[in-house]
Amino acid sequence: MVKHYYNQHRTMLNTEFKKKFDAEKNPLHKAAVKNDFLFFMKKMDSIENVALIAALLKVKNLEDLKKISSKTIPSLQQQDFPLSIEKTADYPGGINALRKEVAQLFYGDGVFSETGNLKTNVAFIVEKDGTISNVKAEGDNFTFNRQAEIALYSISEKFSPAYNNGNPVRYRFRLPLVLNFE
């Protein structure tokens, strides 16, 4: 919902800036309008990132509340996941499509690091209905981990679930991510 909201506003702003840019005759003023647009969109990205972090926290809190609200606090146990899988969970278009979408959704300006190469492993559960839950990024850089989690929660498609004995089952998925700064 957050992505949709900001994409809608980004489209409206893009239209208005284009009108202003096209109406301007002076090349110097055109360049100023373009610079204003780029600056504004960078600020919009930053605001959207804050909203996505808030949404991530809400999702994680809701997942935690679901665990607490039951009489016994369920944890992910080995018996929740079958040992043999006849079909693994897949993202539409495959792993490369998933990586490409995560890369497009990833907000690099929200990552703070003094090193040039960051790595994380994002583990999550593909539920029986193809949705994802329990997204957890484990790496050395906190901001990189959070941005990776936001990107994963923001993917547009559902997975096709894993199957065992013809029935959909929960499936643990791990996605390694690397970010190189130049």
The predicted pLDDT at position 71 comes to 43
pTM of the predicted structure, to 2 decimals: 0.59
Give me the residue spans of the domains in the chain: 2-69, 78-180
Which stretch of DSSP H or E encloses residue 111?
Answer: none
Residue type, 123: A
CA distance 146 to 92: 24
The predicted pLDDT at position 22 comes to 92
Question: Rounded to an integer, what is the distance from CA 119 to the centroid of its chain?
Answer: 16
The predicted pLDDT at position 53 comes to 75
pLDDT tens string, the chain, 182 residues long: the values are 777 788 888 888 889 889 999 999 999 999 999 998 988 888 888 778 777 777 776 776 666 656 555 544 445 554 566 677 889 999 999 999 999 999 888 877 778 887 778 999 999 999 999 998 889 999 988 888 888 888 888 888 999 999 988 899 999 999 999 888 66
Dihedral (CA of 148, 149, 155, 158) sign: positive
